[in-house]
Chain A
Amino acid sequence: MGNIQDIREKMFQAGYICDDKVATVLFLAEALQKPVLVEGPAGVGKTAISQAFSRVKGLPLIRLQCYEGLDEAKALYEWNYKRQLLHIQAVSNQNLSVQEIEEDIFSDTFLLTRPLLKSIASDSPTVMLIDEIDKVDFEFEAMLLELLSEFQITIPEIGTITAKHHPYVFLTSNATRELSEALKRRCLYLYLDFPSKEMEQQILMLKIPQLPEQLAEKVAQVVGRLRKLELKKPPSIAESIDWASSLLWLGKEDLDVETTLNTLSTIVKYREDQEKLERIIYRERDLNFRG
């Protein structure tokens, strides 16, 4: 069991800059074997945490992307219906008993394992990422609850499959709906907010090694100010990285009003937002965005 500084260091090597708070939660997740529920605005690196963590641990990342209407068949397992049918057709003239056929078609060969079963049935530990959990229905959430407390899945035709190793579980949520209390209680809660200016500068320099320090600082500063404005969609970390790298490509050493106007489209993605920023820049002729 590593200590918190150690985790921070390793996450950094895996390409993820985190502060003590995040590192503490990761440490506790490992020590207490609890799932981590990560919430926060879009684009602050909720998904990236688990990716970096799987690199740190050297374990495979098994990801379940949630969406409205996701059901057990897509998340746990499904019988390969077509293959079963074809199999029955193929053996229909072989004089097999009904029981034999049934044993055949409900064997592993005909089971399509979906991410959650894959993670549970895996021989080595895994990092399980359940992305955007807030998109699924309550029913699915309840099923997940059972899975996360027992770490086992029951398939009526086969039996119960229990995890050999507890997977490291990360759940992310954009908080578009309230998750059930029971699910939240089982998890450690981590709220990720947009990074501080200093941290964002570090992130930029880690992600784009050629980026001059001065430019990184300026970009981090301006992006930080933009996030304080009331935009339809505040720029995410990914967008500030995009912006910095496009500035680098354009051969800019510093960020000025002109350049910003020309590259606005990399940083804000809604027309209303762009117009708003243009208005402010034209009026103020600087990048202070005092609103």
Chain B
Amino acid sequence: MPVLQYLQAFFEELRQQGIPVTTSQVRDCCQAVLLIDWMQRDYFYSTLFATLVKDYSYKQAFDQVFNRFFEEYLSPQNLEHLERFKQQKPARPENETAVSDYEIGMGTPMGKGGSSQAPGGQKNPLEQDFGQVSEAELARIESFVPLLARRLAAKFVKKRKRNDQSKIDFRRTIRASLSTGGVPVNLFTVRKYREKPVILVICDVSGSVMNFSCISLALIASLERFFQHIESYAFIDEVADITGLLLSGNPLNFRGHVLRNARVIGATGYTNYGHSLEEFHQRFRHRMHRKTTVLIFGDARNNWQENGTWVLQDIKNRVKKVYWFNPEPASVWNSGDSIIKEYAPLCDRVFACPNLLELEKSLAKI
């Protein structure tokens, strides 16, 4: 197979796997590949990696594609072909026309792999529904959580930072200028007092939201690294403070870890939002204040028990914002024992987050 075609197929495959490969990256890659010795697998690999991948979280996917492709295609006779090709086209990186021939794969819309199923049978982990994934797939989804937490943290920080232009403290500057003959040599600015965001997370860890709670806990753990003022609580039919419980360990075991080490299972062992909320209110309400944002992760499936809406009302009155993240798609809300409609009016917003992508989008909106 001609060189260009199989490089193109390679780029294509990377895109299929969700690695965004842009035209300019393709150009860089082709330029770079002409400069190195193809026979050396390490050179070849790191040339492609350095030019095509810009994020370590894609490494695994890249390696898979690379191994598949260049076991298959980098056969001796192909290499020979490449060598001949290289001699025909001397490497001139500064000369754009020399590489214009390589600008390939432009017709394909570059993207995140879309929702289409990749040939390997793997779905895009960001778009897989939490409700129906295997353990291995869950691990794949989980590996995206730190990335997501990082992006969110950056967004929050950015929000905080707006309007941070400091103003001249006129009084202090003039006062200080007296010692320099009225010339304001030293300028003083008004220091703005900025508060750290205070986030309080309440997470349902019951069986009905098993996968979702695994992901939420992993997310909470990642967020704890970025925000100092974040407190987390978990419940099934009793509520417990799990702040700091998630500092280390495999994120996929967090749920088990919480179940073992925190008193979240009470007398019945069945999810009870009403009781948990009341208990939360009784024990921890003093930890909330006007600047707190409360995030609730759960499906609001209450096993037909007391709903405790008055607690949520009181929480809403105490804090700045209350957001609810429901792993179920909106179409099944309020069916069966789901009582999300009773809580919804008491939240600032309720989001349906059946997959990681939606969860990220929702979190970004707050």
Contact = CB atoms under 8 A, between A and B. Distances in A.
A32 B54 contact: no
Contacts of B53: 189
Contacts of B161: 137
B49 A189 contact: yes
A86 B42 contact: no
B183 A85 contact: yes
A287 interface: no
A20 B248 contact: no
Which of A31, A137, A231 neighbours the largest number of chain B CB atoms within 10 Å of its CB? A31
B150 interface: yes
Interface string A223-234: 000000011100
A189 B59 CA distance: 11
Interface stretch (A113-121, A152-160, A171-179): A171-179
B241 interface: no
A178 B32 CA distance: 25
Contact of B45 (A21, A181, A184): A21
Interface string B15-43: 00000101011001001100111001011
Interface stretch (A22-30, A43-51, A258-266): A22-30
A34 B250 CA distance: 38
A244 to B, nearest CB: 26
Contacts of A19: 42
A175 B150 contact: yes
Secondary structure dominating the interface of B? helix
Contact of B28 (A32, A39, A81, A232): A32
Contacts of A39: 56
Contacts of A177: 150-151, 153-154, 157
Interface string B162-204: 0000000000000000000101111100000000000000000
A4 B36 contact: yes
B54 A232 contact: no
A34 B36 contact: no
A24 B46 contact: yes
Contact of A137 (B147, B158, B248): B158
A59 interface: no
Interface residues of A, number: 38
Interface in A135-175: 137-138, 175
Q: Interface size bucket, B side?
A: 35 or more
B335 to A, nearest CB: 38
Given A21-B45, A28-B50, A32-B31, A82 B25 contact: no
B51 A178 contact: no
A188 interface: yes
B55 A28 contact: no
A42 interface: no
A85 B93 CA distance: 49
Contacts of B243: none
A24 B157 CA distance: 36
Contacts, number: 97
A191 B186 CA distance: 44
Nearest to B40: A20
Nearest to A29: B50
B128 interface: no
A271 interface: no
A81 B226 CA distance: 37
Contact of B150 (A178, A184, A185): A178
B249 A230 contact: yes
B3 interface: no
B150 A24 contact: no
A187 B54 contact: yes
Contacts of B185: 82, 85-86
B338 interface: no
Which of B181, B183, B249 neighbours the largest number of chain A CB atoms within 10 Å of its CB? B183
A37 B226 CA distance: 23
A211 interface: no
Contact of A27 (B36, B49, B181): B36
A178 B42 contact: no
A175 B46 contact: no
A205 interface: no
A210 interface: no
A21 B46 CA distance: 5
Contact of A176 (B46, B50, B150): B150
B79 interface: no
Given A32-B32, A177-B151, A230-B249, A21 B54 contact: no
B42 A28 contact: no
B154 A178 contact: yes
A94 interface: no
Contacts of B210: none
B40 A89 contact: no
A105 interface: no
A184 B56 CA distance: 12
Contacts of B25: 185
Interface in A73-107: 81-82, 85-86, 89
A189 B50 contact: yes
Which of A22, A32, A40 neighbours the largest number of chain B CB atoms within 10 Å of its CB? A32
5 contacts: A4-B37, A32-B93, A177-B150, A181-B20, A230-B248
Given A32-B32, A176-B153, A191-B59, 15 more contacts: A4-B37, A21-B49, A24-B42, A24-B47, A28-B32, A32-B31, A82-B185, A85-B185, A178-B150, A178-B151, A181-B20, A187-B54, A189-B50, A231-B248, A232-B248
Q: Which 5 A-B pairs have the closest CB atoms?
A: A184-B54, A21-B46, A20-B42, A177-B154, A188-B50
